Structure formats: structure tokens, C-alpha cells
Amino acid sequence: FDVVDLIHTKRDRGALSTAQIDWMVDAYTRGYIAEEQMAAMTMAIFLNGMERSEIRDLTLAMIASGERMNFDGLSKRTTDKHSTGGVGDKITLPLAPLVASFGVAVPQLSGRGLGHTGGTLDKLESIPGWRASLSNEEFYSQLENVGAVICAAGSGLAPADGKLYSLRDITGTVESIPLIASSIMSKKIAEGTAALVLDVKFGSGAFLQDINRGRELAETMVQLGRDAGVATSALLTNMNVPLGLAIGNANEVRESLEVLAGGGPADVTELTIALAREMLTLAGKPDADVEAALKDGRAMDTWRAMISAQGGDPAAALPVARETHVVTASRSGVLVDQKALPFGIAAWRLGAGRARKQDPVQHAAGIDLHAKPGDTVTEGQPLFTMSADEPERFERALEALEGAYRIGDAGDEVFTGGPLIAD
Ligand code: URA
């Protein structure tokens, strides 16, 4: 094949054959297709979309670009979840040990944050001693003995996606249903989990803001999973408002510990429980009492075992930032708006996220919210606290927050963009 012919086909709204897609992904992974040619291809896909059969072929070709893991040797069933990413989304932290406390295995291969969305590994690395990289032997033995593992995905899984995702990130081609669906599902299918629950976000802090596009993404991914023999389901959840009260790294671990201790903000707990039920249902345990496992300490025990197994000290103090800056209510009233995206960008600018892949994050940097939309506030009361190691970061974070929140009067419409979990 000639890659220029394939680009013409997609540019002119045609469909690529299985053989063409297999060839293209293989040639790109090996470096025979130039980055600028693949950039043109991804833009053509972004603008013109792909047929379901093309999305399936792209997913399978990306899986075939690397190794596949296999959990047949485990005595437990595997069940996993994936979130399309959001602001304050720390759900994996309480969820993996909660689900594993019922005797199933949760092989959670996670990533790092890029842009305004946080990364699970960055959050966990705020725990002294904890390490994200495990050998294959350590990974399998922890799955068998503890049940929950949250660690870095090796570069061997779907390497084509690794290359393609970096390219999309710098060419404005991330927010595309065929490209997101094949990217996520190639990694999850290659990972070898038997069951998978997708937390597909919509709203201002999500990749796809429109709920209908979120629904289409969810349906596309569920179909890809089922076609590959993975028991797959999806929840469509609201990312207009930050999830919980903590946005950052160490503070998100603190909030996760509250959930594991049976408390925590209502939205974080609700989503954790809903996703746990779904994961356990797919793993053949539809009657598991997940609320009881949060209240009676079983989920917390599994958390401690999971952290210790990866070198972390679950009892160690978490880092605290050198500087804080409190923003107070300018008037009394009701908090009617709190937009996820600007709060995510502000936390990123405070140092919780990274601008380039190789940059470190500052674990104690971030934002703690003291009020959520619908709450009554009085003039002078703290609305949120920003934390950073360098005080000069506060100004840039405040710029991002201009217009991000609003205090109205009792009776004004409160903007949340609908319920947390959509029908
Ligand atoms: N997460 C992924 O892994 N891939 C995407 O394309 C978007 C989110």
C-alpha cells in the first residue's frame, strides 16, 4: 500500500479495508510512515469519522502491535475499570481495593496526568515509598495475594497507541470518538481483563463535552469490548463540576482515605459504589454488599495491603505544600456554578500536573474546595484553598479561575449539568 493513497481515501470520506489498516498501524509502529503523514491521517479521521468496522480493525491492529497479557493462571476472576478522565477523579484509588476485598482481582494499569486531567500514578506517588513499576512476577503475585494492583502499564502493551496518542496530543486530534475508543480499548483488551466497566465522562471537564457524543463513545467502546470477548459495560457520568472536594495529588489520596474509612464527599462515594457494583456484577458477584465493605474496614485493609505490597507506607504522613492561598466568598448567597475545566487547569498551574511528559509533578500542590454548587455561603467564608510550593504560581492559577465560579441568590438555577450518573 501507499500511505498517501490511504490518506486520500480518508480525506475523501472513504473507508479503509482491514488489510489497509493492519498495514498502516504496523508500518507506523515500525517507523515506515512519517509522523506528518500519520498526523494528516488522524486529522482526516477526526474530521470524517470511521465506520464501526474500521474502528474494530484499528483497535485489533493496535493490540497486535504489542504483547497481550493473560490471567488464566490466576485463581480469581479479573475485573477492571477505565475512566475517560476528569477533574478530581480519584475514584480508582478507593475502588480497586474495595472491589478486590470481595475476592476478585483488579489489574489496574494506570497512566500519568497530561494537561488538566490528573493521573492515578501521580496521585499514589505522593505516598512515601510507593512505586508504580512492578515486574511481571510481582504483578501476578500481588493480584493473587492482595487482589488489587495499581501500577504503570509497560510499554509493551499496544505500543502503536503510545505513539499515536503522543502525536494526537500535539496535533489537535484527541477529541475523536474512533480515536479515543480504539486507544482505550486496545490497551484494555491487550491487558487481558475478563470484565471491564467504563466510566465515560461528559461535560465541561471531559474530552467530549456533549452528553450525546459521550453516549456514542460509550456504545462504541462497549461493542469493541464485547466483540473481543470482554464482559464490558459503561456508566455515563457528569464532569461539569469537579468530583469531590480535592483536586491535586496528595489531597486526592487524603480524600480517597476518607471514602475507604466509610465517609468522604457524597459524589465520590456514590460513584465509587456504583462502579464497584457494576464491576462485581460482571465478575459474577451481583449481591456483594459494597457499602458494608467501606463501613467495616475490609476495603481499607485491602488498601493497606496494596500500598505496602508496592513499597509504600500506608501510615506515613502525606506531603503538605509550603504555601497556601485561601479564596473567600465576596458576598453571601448560594454557590451556583463551579466549572470543572478551569479548576483542573488551575490545579495544573499550581504544579499538580505537568506541561511536558518528562516533568515531575508537585505532590502537595492542588486545590481543596470548601463549598460545592448548591451550598449556601456567607461573605468572607473560605470557598477554596490553593496549595503550592512556589507562591508565584497563585496568580496564574487565579487567572484560570476567572469566571469559573459564581455566587447567586437563593432560588437561582444551580448549574451542575444534571445528575452525577446519567440514564
Ligand atoms: N485516554 C486514552 O487512553 N486515549 C484517548 O484517546 C483518550 C483518553
Residues 43 and 176 occupy one common structural domain: no
Q: Are residues 134 and 278 in the same domain?
A: yes
Which of 62, 168, 183 has most ligand 1 atoms within 8 Å of CB, for mutation? 183
Other beta carbons within 10 angstroms of residue 212's beta carbon come to: 9
For residues 139 and 286, membership in a common domain is answered with yes
Q: Answer yes or no: is pLDDT of 117 > 90.
A: no
Phi first, then psi: give them for residue 223, nearest 5 degrees: -65, -45
9 and 129 belong to one structural domain? no
Whether 151 is in a domain gets the answer yes
Phi, psi (deg, nearest 5) at residue 367: -130, 135
Kindly state the average pLDDT of the residues 306-321. 98
Q: Which three cell numbers stand for residue 357?
A: 511528559
Boundary of a domain, candidates 309, 335, 351: 309
- Same domain assignment for residues 45 and 193: no
Copy the grid coordinates of residue 329.
Answer: 466568598
Residue 98's pLDDT band (boundaries 50, 70, 90)?
very high
Same domain, 111 and 236: yes
- Whether 413 maps to a domain, the answer reads no
Q: pTM score, two decimals? A: 0.96
In this prediction, residues 348-360 reach a mean pLDDT of 86
The tens digit of pLDDT for each residue in 136-147 reads 999 999 999 999
Q: Whole domain around residue 17: which residue ranges?
A: 3-49
User: Ligand 1: which residue has its CA nearest to atom 6?
Assistant: 180
Residues having CB within 6 Å of any atom of ligand 1 = 84-85, 165, 174, 179-180, 183-184, 207
DSSP 8-state secondary structure symbol assigned to residue 322: S
| pLDDT of res. 169 | 83
Catalytic residue positions, numbered: 82, 161, 168, 183, 187
Q: Tell me what the pLDDT averaged over the chain comes to.
A: 96
Partnered with residue 81 across adjacent β-strands are 197
Does residue 218 share a domain with residue 165?
yes
Residue 68 domain-assigned (yes or no) = no
- In this prediction, residue 111 has a pLDDT band, given cuts at 50, 70 and 90, of confident
Write down the pLDDT at residue 116.
75
How many domains are there within the chain?
3
Domain with residue 114: its CATH number is 3.40.1030.10
In a domain, 314, yes or no: no
Q: Are residues 337 and 192 in the same domain?
A: no
pLDDT digits (tens, 9 = 90+) for 154-168: 889 999 999 998 899
Q: Where are the beta strands (DSSP E) in 111-192?
A: 148-152
Write out pLDDT tens, residues 20-79.
Answer: 999 999 999 999 999 999 999 999 999 999 999 999 999 999 999 999 999 999 999 999
Q: Higher confidence at residue 118 or residue 280? A: 280
Centre of ligand 1 to C-alpha 180, Å, is: 5
Q: Is the pLDDT of residue 114 over 70?
A: no
Domain final residue pick, 309, 341, 362: 309
Contact of 387 with 367, CB cutoff 8 Å: yes
